Structure 1
């Protein structure tokens, strides 16, 4: 494994506020790494330190093995795409894409070749002579992406690049960014607060909270084995149960089934969860059915549990439950995640 960038003991503070706290992180070459977390977790500050827009209060940042901690942005050979696109309105699409190449004094003929190549890569070569105002939001984002990669950056940094697009375009651009990253072999660092976006696009996910890394790993690993309650909660685990020994268990809503007296959910699990509960709400939504329950866990604490069942797997017992019904909250052992403290 080769690291395109590395943070070693990096801290960024503003007075008494610590935005990033002793960060140690490796960005693998040729991978798409997402920095994921809620607002204020330090992910954008981390990206801006990597870009050179912020100098860390402590620690070292290396890019391709070179200490870049105090290098200005223009000396780092990085491409960056912001959520606002930041296109020059008075320049054509082609001139926007070629702007960084012109600053680097790339000869005109070579510059035209690179501009057309990168516009073709994002599917916009036919709009080379248009101005940004004549483009849709998705097209403007593609131009910003083409401009960032035209300079052959060591890393491509994306700061919430899809947040201003509608839902359909966001899904489309996720696929486009993955395709471009695969075709070019670029190392990409993407900042997002969207769990679905991170899961779909990442080779490596870095989940952050309060300036610290909570968990790093492949999306499937982080999703199926969250390291702690914060990561589990952030990724959509809704059911948390304390055990008698003080540890914590969690089950995703789609893995929690509802069993009733005299009925089954395909058979109670031989091992795992089989907890008495009382239904507080039952909602049919067409594609699925949501049952909310209260139960007392092994530590004697009352907790709320949520079960989501797809319509095509819904049993008559589950569809017939009503508030006040006494049921069993059930999950198989392999569906239960045991969390660290």
Structure 2
């Protein structure tokens, strides 16, 4: 696999605070990579170092095989879309998209052709003469994408680009960015704190905490096998159990089953735990049931079961239940 960029032993230290701590990271060419994690995990700092806005305290960053650690941003040929889009309000859409090309002294005819191609790619060629204030949030974001793409960058960097959009537009733009990446073959690095966004859009996802990479891989590899409790919790795992050996395991709510009378466990059942229903939340298609129980170590736990509404037992708070925990869906977790 060829790499669009590489971090080798990269750290970023501000005074006594280490924002990024000795990371090694390969950004694959022609793929969409997400840097995912909570605020302060180091993902935006990593993106800013890749863009050239920050120089690493230690380590090296290469772009397209060339050491670019000290190369200024304007010489890295990277496209960047910010959270705020940063469009020029006094310029037309076409002039905004062509701005980077003009700064690079691209001839007028070539500039006009590439502006048109970029606007067609994001579906906004018909608004080329409009000013940004006349556009919706989603349209403004598409203009920012077109401007970043027009310079034909080695890498496209997206810093929380969907956070200012409403829920419906966010879902639409996920698909739009994915389509643009597929059609252009660009290497894209997307910073996000939204696990659904990362799972839906990524070819490769990189989960970060306290400046360190906790896990990296395809969504299909990472989601069913989180490396540790932090990753599991961040990806929406709700249930954590201690096994007989004292190790922590996790299981997703949809993999638990409840019954009002204990049955002989099926061969794949890892444990059947007694419990008391604390809460029942009907959501139409499914029912979320919270149960107070104890795991095999004797520790008190609250377990969340996500049951199909059509087959869920009729439960009310205070009811005694048995929680069936299938061993096939238990995921062992390493220490954070």
Q: TM-score under structure 1 normalisation?
A: 0.96
**Mapping of residues 220-299 of structure 1, within 5 Å:** 220-261=220-261, 268-271=265-268, 272-299=270-297
Look up the match of 1:59: 59
Residues 27-50 of structure 1, C-alpha deviation per residue, up to 9 Å, x if partnerless?
000010000001110000000000
Q: Is the 8 A contact 1:259 1:268 kept in 2?
A: no
Counterpart CA distance in 1 for 2:137 and 2:308 is: 35
Report the counterpart of residue 40 of structure 1 in structure 2. 40
CA distance in 2, matches of 1:210, 1:336: 27
Shift of 1:310: 2.4
Q: Which residue number corresponds to residue 170 of structure 1? A: 170
1:337 aligns with 2:331: yes
| Partner Cα distance (1:70, 1:148) in 2 | 22
SS of residue paired to 1:69: coil
CA distance in 2, matches of 1:215, 1:104: 38
> 2:315 maps to what in 1?
321
Q: Which runs of 5+ in 1 are unaligned?
A: none
1:301 equivalent to 2:299? Answer yes
User: What's the counterpart of residue 103 of structure 1?
Assistant: 103
Q: Distance in 1 between matches of 2:69 and 2:195?
A: 30
Measured on the aligned residues, the alpha-carbon RMSD in Å equals: 1.2
Stretches of structure 2 lacking an aligned partner (at least 5 in a row): none
Q: Distance in 1 between matches of 2:157 and 2:271?
A: 44
**2:51, 2:111 → 1: CA distance?**
24
Q: For the residues of structure 1 that align with 2:212 and 2:228, how far apart are their CA atoms?
A: 13
Q: Check conservation: 1:155, 1:188, Cα contact below 8 A.
A: yes
Distance in 1, Cα, partners of 2:293 & 2:309: 24
* 1:60-109, Cα deviation, whole Å (9 max, x unpaired): 00001111111110010000000100000011000000000001111000
Q: How far has the Cα of 1:334 moved from its partner?
A: 1.8
Query: Any idea what the Cα deviations from partners look like across 1:251-291, whole Å, max 9, x if unmatched?
Result: 101111111116x7xx8432323222221122223222111
The whole-number CA distance in structure 2 between the counterparts of 1:13 and 1:72 is 19
Partner Cα distance (1:122, 1:321) in 2? 50
CA contact (8 A) 1:269 1:330 kept: no
Deviations 1:310-333 (A, max 9, x none): 223x23xx2x22222221111322
Q: Aligned with 1:19: secondary structure?
A: strand
Contact 1:269/1:331 (<8 A) preserved: no
Matches within 5 A, 1:167-206: 167-206=167-206
Over 3 Å off, 4+ runs: none
SS in 1 for 2:223: helix
Moved more, 325-334 or 248-257: 325-334
* Number of corresponding residues: 334
